[in-house]
Amino acid sequence: MIIFESIKLALKAIWAHKIRSFLTMLGILIGISSVVTLMSIGEGVKDDVKKLVGDLGSNMIFIIGGDLGIGSNASSVQNQGGVKSAFGNPANLIATNLFKQEDLNSLRKIDGVEKVTPISIVSGLVSYEDKITSPIIMSAEPSMKDIITGVSIEKGRHLSDTDESENKQVIILGDTPRQNLLGDDEAIGKKVKITNQKQEYEFEVIGILSRPTTSTSFSTDYNTITIIPYSTGKKLFNDGEDNIMRIGIKAEDKTNPKEISKLVTDDMLKRHKKEEFTVMTQDDMLSMLDTIMNMLTAFVSAIAAISLIVGGVGIMNIMLVSVTERTREIGIRKAVGATNGAILWQFLIEAIFISIVGGAISLAIVKAGIELVKYYTELNPIITPGSVILSMGVCIGIGLIFGIAPAIQASRKDPIEALRYE
């Protein structure tokens, strides 16, 4: 009964000083809103990437330039540090001439490796008549369709071995460049031009890439991809040099991609230094994303913690003022039989309720903010039960920690002295 009476009195006190109580909550509002919003956006981004990577193919392995500190060639120290090496030397990540034909030939001989394709990026613009677009122009071998299974053809055909062996000037357009150049007109068979610096070459459209089966915030970049034969890109745009930016590998269905990635790493170390490349499986890609998002969440959480501490100090200060203002009330309650415990619970519950109400308002603000983010951007934030439980737990903790001192002070007041207070 004492607890219920204390809750009733605490709510009356909060309602009697609505503006003061709201201002007391501001620190809580800012802190909780910041953390939960970022956690929600982070969960949404991770969910989007998991869907996109899952659609691309489960048995794929990628070799990229630079040591990201993950994958089978990462040391235990680097794994603990997440993506330490990538941030330490960003130039490694954009290097385009690290891998050579001899790497491809050697990788194809590894047991458990089914397909291998080089991937290069061609810089240039694609045009049709008076329309110009700037997609991601990727050169790859026909085996790419078996490695990155999520890159499927909606209309027309994929690259063939003949296209590769004869250096044919053919191109597969992504959905976005197709719309930009040809609109709803028939694209197959049309001739588009790729302009690279002072060079201009004509390519025949042989296929249109389908849109991703899963719509995510990353679908826009996916839809801008165009593909030409690797041999054609090498001959026309790279002066016959390999300039392989990435190597895509498909492991055989009955194998473990992690085990194959170790074999790939051992093979690559015969020709390259460890810091020159990273071998990544699907799980490694998701792990890297988790590491980055966790680092970002921790950073913003540290900033938000300052707001929570400020909010807690505000609660304590207001409660101390409230104790002073209600000294005579405390004296009267003690005179008619209220115990020290009853007084302590009244003020402690009042502090906790202020904090909890602040947290509840924060969640409502976050919900409204997330709906705006979904409407105006392609992000899809997700509020998880864990973030809600964590935020309310933090609110209760702040109320307890910063409300205990004023509550103890109120409970220890001498009833005689309190009744004399004017």
* 319 in the same domain as 262: no
What is the number of residues in the chain? 422
pLDDT, tens digit (0-9, with 9 covering 90-100), for 235-270: 988 888 888 888 999 998 888 888 999 999 999 999
28-37 mean pLDDT: 83
Percent of the chain with pLDDT over 90: 23
- Identify the DSSP state of 276: G
* 163 in the same domain as 247: yes
Distance CA 90, CA 198 (A): 29
pLDDT at 56 over 80: no
* 244 in the same domain as 133: yes
pLDDT at 11 over 80: no
* 352 in the same domain as 249: no
Percent of the chain with pLDDT over 70: 87
pLDDT at 207 over 60: yes
**Residue 393 is part of which domain span?**
2-49+290-420
* 409 in the same domain as 363: yes
Backbone phi and psi for residue 130, each to the nearest 5 degrees, phi listed first = -100, 10
The residue that leads in pLDDT, 414 or 208, is 208
Distance CA 408, CA 320 (A): 10
For 204, 268, 349, 411, the CA distances from 320, given in Å and listed in that order, are 78, 67, 14, 12
Q: How many helices (H) and strands (E) does the chain have?
A: 17, 12
Domain boundary pick from 221, 236, 271: 271
Distance CA 233, CA 241 (A): 10
The residue that leads in pLDDT, 230 or 92, is 230
Q: What's the pLDDT score for residue 88?
A: 42
pLDDT band at 384 (very low <50, low <70, confident <90, very high): confident
Q: What's the pLDDT score for residue 55?
A: 62
Residue 13 lies in a domain: yes
Q: What's the pLDDT score for residue 2?
A: 61
Q: What's the pLDDT score for residue 232?
A: 93
* 140 in the same domain as 264: yes
The residue that leads in pLDDT, 10 or 189, is 189
pLDDT at 144 over 80: yes
Please classify residue 146 by burial: count the beta carbons closer than 10 Å to its beta carbon, then call 0-12 exposed, 13-18 middle and 19+ buried. middle
What's the number of domains the chain is made of?
A: 2
Q: Across all residues in the chain, what is the average pLDDT?
A: 82
pLDDT at 78 over 50: no
Q: What's the pLDDT score for residue 212?
A: 66
pLDDT, tens digit (0-9, with 9 covering 90-100), for 81-125: 444 444 444 444 555 568 999 999 999 999 999 999 999 988 889
pLDDT at 136 over 50: yes
Closest CA to 315 of 20, 70, 10, 3: 20
Q: What's the pLDDT score for residue 87?
A: 42
pLDDT, tens digit (0-9, with 9 covering 90-100), for 305-363: 777 788 888 888 888 888 888 888 888 888 888 888 888 888 888 888 888 888 888 88
For residues 204 and 191, is the Cβ–Cβ distance under 8 A? yes
Residue 413 lies in a domain: yes
For residues 25 and 367, is the Cβ–Cβ distance under 8 A? no
Distance CA 313, CA 369 (A): 27
Residue 59 lies in a domain: no
Q: What's the pLDDT score for residue 221?
A: 62
* 336 in the same domain as 204: no
Residue 363's SS3 state is helix
Residue 81 lies in a domain: no
Q: What's the pLDDT score for residue 49?
A: 72
* 226 in the same domain as 145: yes
